[in-house]
Amino acid sequence: MNAQVTNAVVLRDLSRSFKGKTVLDRISLDIPAGQFVALLGESGSGKTTLLRALAGLDDDAETKGHYSTPESVSVLFQDSRLLPWKTVIDNVTLGLRRADGQAAARDMLRDVGIGDKTDVWPSTLSGGQKQRASLARSLLREPDLLLADEPFGALDALTRLKMQALLMRLVERQRPTIILVTHDVDEALLLSDRVLVLKDGSIIEDHSISLPHPRHEHQAELFSLRSKLLKSLGV
């Protein structure tokens, strides 16, 4: 007998519209706990709107249907959103309700490779360092669900690869459920367990990837799926 699968995220006929324009159109979806899901699609397909709905953002949207998420949710944006008047460690621990918050934050900052930047101002950090701090802030809370909206999209290619490897190393330890919005097909294939393609507010494709990590783009299964995804995206 198969063990019962626990779903971390459940959507049933979820629709979302802004000023009468439908952006999400009756999406139903189950995401098992611990699964890494990548969302692909052209701009305006509904990827970020879906992510923001699950994060409880955009109160001005008209929402229909049902969705459920774990209580513990962290969001990782493309913009690091560090407060410039607070030091790095104060940004990372902002709102944290843990007695060991400062010590845990210093450990996490060391884990993400900026342990020497704890007491500096965000303005002194590079783009990659800011995203490392943002990642530390998100994972310090040990979320059950991590929502990531193109977190590495603004980084140069080398820094992006380093951040992808860092993310995979850290989440392997915590095993949260992850939903990643990305425009990068290779990023989706190399990181995720499952790739969803959105178009006009609906999920039009759902692909599972069973290959272990680390992966490389020349693996036959990934090469074949990459071609399918690029075709679906009109590339």
pLDDT in tens, 211-227: 998 888 889 989 999 99
Highest mean pLDDT among 50-59, 81-90, 212-221: 81-90
| Residues whose CB is less than 8 angstroms from the CB of residue 107 and which lie 6 or more positions away in sequence, other chains included | none
What pLDDT is stored for residue 202 in this prediction? 97
For 42, residues 6+ apart whose C-beta sits below 8 A from its C-beta are 199, 233, 234
Distance CA 112, CA 134 (A): 10
Residue 67 dihedral angles phi and psi, to the nearest 5°: -150, 150
Domains of the chain plus CATH, in order, are 7-72+143-233 (3.40.50.300), 82-142 (no CATH)
Q: Indicate if the pLDDT at residue 191 is higher than 50.
A: yes
Nearest Cα to 149, choosing from 48, 15, 37?
A: 48
pLDDT at 1: 42
Please state the φ and ψ torsions of residue 77, each to the nearest 5 degrees: -95, 165
Q: Mean pLDDT throughout 62-66?
A: 93
Interatomic CA distance for residues 36 and 177, integer angstroms = 6
For the segment 120-153, what is each residue's pLDDT rounded down to a tens digit?
999 999 999 999 999 999 999 999 999 999 999 8
The secondary structure element, H or E, covering residue 151 is: none
One-letter amino acid for residue 100 of the chain? D
For the segment 96-114, the average pLDDT, to the nearest whole number, is 87
Among 90, 96, 80, which residue's Cα sits nearest to residue 129? 80
* CA of residue 95 relative to chain centroid, distance: 21
What's the confidence (pLDDT) of residue 235? 79
pLDDT-based confidence at residue 4 (cuts at 50, 70, 90): low
| Per-residue pLDDT at 59 | 80
Give the model's pLDDT for residue 213.
87
Instruction: Classify residue 100 as exposed, middle or buried by CB count within 10 Å of its CB (0-12, 13-18, 19+).
Output: exposed
**Under a CB-based contact definition with an 8 Å cutoff, are residues 152 and 131 in contact?**
yes
What is the dihedral angle through the alpha carbons of 115, 121, 126, 132, rounded to the nearest 10 degrees? 40
- The per-residue pLDDT of the chain, averaged, comes to 92
Closest by alpha carbon to 150, among 219, 211, 78, 67? 78
